[in-house]
A and B are shown apart, each in its own frame.
Chain A
Amino acid sequence: MNIYVLLKRTFDTEEKITLSNGKINEDGAEFIINPYDEYAVEEAIVVRDAHGGEVTVVSVGSEEAEKQLRTALAMGADKAVLINIEDDVEDGDQYTTSKVIAEYLKDKEADLIIAGNVAIDSGSGQVGPRVAEILEIPYITTITKLEINGETATVVRDVEGDSEVIEASLPLLVTAQQGLNEPRYPSLPGIMKAKKKPLEELELDDLDLDEDDVEAKTKTIEIFLPAKKEEGKVLEGELKDQVSELIGLLRNEAKVI
């Protein structure tokens, strides 16, 4: 099976966000594989181990993403591809990213494409469905289970707490939801092997794409931090009295009950 994983490098979840010159400050920040994409990498490896084939991890970004791609290789992926558009495209959006990925994938005859359902930095969750639409293959988002039987995939999709069991034929794109699996930690032998696995770097030119073809449709005009909250009130006294005071405050001061 030809399995592809879409991966994004994101800030670590522990990171505090600060701005400098109106942009998100990246200095000294720790980066990780987007947690939802980790589920995707893990699932791809599991499927490959069960059915045979190859797992290729693809990321659109800057050179720094190499580190996260090596981590995916260390987990067990076979190949990695970095599509570096940093020099060609300024301020791309999801339209940009999906066009680039789809262009790369269009002649790869992927049987299965797995992506995380959303990136924890931009939080839009668009790229998976967009790529599937361009490739004209079916897609199922937010999956918590995947079973492959020949050319048929049976999937459990999380729909705000309810579960749907859905059947579809390959080729298929799915996006991973929490609970799909527990991503493995790269082992030391895995990390050593990863250094020798192929990591290909491509640019827009290699994809026969022009900057105009992938120009963003949307633009960010401002980034700001939420207003700092005023310090809260920790109540004191007998618990019973605190509870009464709290209810009074919620009713009369905060007016939420």
Chain B
Amino acid sequence: MARKILVLGEVRDGSLRNVSFEAVAAAKLASEGGEVVGVLIGESVQSLGSEFIQYGTDRVIVVENEKLAQYTSDGYSQALLQAIESESPDGIIIGHTAQGKDLAPRIASKLDSGLISDVTAIEEAGGNVVFVRPIYSGKAFEKKIVKDGLIFATIRPNNIAPLEKDPSRTGEVATLAVDIKDLRTIIKEVVRKATEGVDLSEAKVVVAGGRGVKSAEGFEPLKELANVLGGAVGASRGACDAEYCDYSLQIGQTGKVVTPDLYIACGISGAIQHVAGMSNSKVIVAINKDPEANIFKVADYGIVGDLFEVVPLLIEELKKLKVNA
């Protein structure tokens, strides 16, 4: 049965984040042949409409207002709710990002609706859209359906492949005039603490360091390896607690959960809480001096050795490969 699904695109630094395109693919699965309508919210985002269409939306609604220049719950919920009222969709898909996690529950509450968060796969079964999601930090999974009403879900980045971009695809990009009332929270300052480079939650390759890194400087070879592989740097809780790196790098049960294609664990013992944050990586490589380390039980490939010897060797060989390519 065809359903009209709304997809909220997420804009960062003037472009659409990857998860927006993944959300379109998810919406297509949920729509079963129905219309997929993209929504863009911001101060000046109209120009992103065509790319949104090229990744599969049938049309795009643009909601622009100077009060929407930065994300606030008040601003974006007003904007999205007016778009929802205008479109009366059967479902909504949003990326499970900092913004999505903050916004979606409020929208669901306002609409008296259910919400299925952090979805990693979508199936169809017996007329229902079935959402698969991790629970207990990925130690188990559940399949959920909406009993009735709005089919509303947030999708975990990096799990549902976007459709292939079709540069020839066109569609209507229309503006929706909205009224944005005063915002109750005021952003005074934004401090860009995150390191430049690839976003940890969207990275296809993650190089992570644990206590074995021994110091903040110890992360340098890992950063270089990540660079060579076009990936991001992560860390275990142990490394963060020891102040070798910032908590924003922490991967684990009480940190970020990542699902890259390649996860290289350097000097990480593999405690159950850390494994919970990366066990669904496609391929796991472990480098550790201790052959008994738990990490070797979850790794696809392991090297028993000193990371300060192994990582530079890896960097050297990979650089040679690039040169020869």
Contacts and interface: CB of A to CB of B under 8 A. Distances in A.
Interface of A: 11, 13-17, 19, 24, 35-36, 93-95, 98, 117-118, 120-130, 132-134, 138-142, 154, 158-169, 178-179, 216-226, 229, 232-235, 239-240, 242-244, 246-247, 249-250, 254, 256-257
B317 A239 contact: no
B255 A178 contact: yes
Given A95-B108, A129-B109, A234-B291, A24 B136 contact: yes
Contacts of A256: 205, 261-262, 282-283
Interface string B268-287: 00001100100110111110
A254 B283 contact: yes
Nearest to B287: A246
A178 B241 CA distance: 11
Contacts of A226: 138-141, 279-280
A127 B101 CA distance: 11
A239 B248 contact: no
Given A13-B253, A13-B254, A164-B187, A217 B114 contact: yes
B200 to A, nearest CB: 8
B181 interface: no
Chain B, interface size category, equals 35 or more
Contacts of B318: 247, 257
Interface in B225-262: 229, 246-248, 250, 253-255, 261-262
A254 B135 CA distance: 27
- 8 closest Cβ pairs, A-B complex: A217-B114, A161-B194, A161-B248, A124-B117, A126-B105, A129-B105, A133-B109, A17-B139
Contacts of A129: 73, 102, 105-106, 109
A35 B136 CA distance: 13
Given A24-B135, A124-B117, 19 more contacts: A95-B108, A124-B115, A126-B115, A129-B109, A130-B109, A139-B73, A160-B194, A160-B201, A165-B189, A178-B247, A178-B254, A179-B247, A217-B113, A225-B139, A225-B141, A229-B298, A232-B296, A242-B305, A250-B262
B149 interface: yes
Interface stretch (B25-33, B161-169, B306-314): B306-314
B145 A218 contact: yes
B144 A218 contact: yes
B313 to A, nearest CB: 4
A11 B136 contact: yes
Interface of B: 73-74, 97-99, 101-102, 104-106, 108-110, 113-118, 130, 133-149, 184-195, 199-201, 205, 229, 246-248, 250, 253-255, 261-262, 272-273, 276, 279-280, 282-286, 291, 296-305, 309-310, 313-314, 317-318, 321
Q: Is the interface of B mostly helix, strand, loop or mixed?
A: mixed
B144 A13 contact: no
B136 A121 contact: yes
A243 B313 contact: yes
A241 to B, nearest CB: 10
Contacts of A11: 136
Most buried by B among A117, A225, A232: A232
16 contacts: A95-B109, A117-B101, A122-B135, A123-B133, A123-B137, A124-B115, A124-B118, A125-B105, A139-B73, A160-B97, A161-B194, A166-B188, A224-B143, A225-B140, A254-B300, A257-B229
Contact of A95 (B114, B187, B229): B114
A216 B112 CA distance: 11
Given A94-B105, A225-B140, A164 B189 contact: yes
A216 to B, nearest CB: 7
Nearest to A246: B301
Contacts of A254: 262, 282-283, 300-301
Contacts of A15: 136
Contact of B116 (A164, A218, A232): A218
A229 B298 CA distance: 7
A246 B303 contact: yes
B285 to A, nearest CB: 7
B300 A232 contact: yes
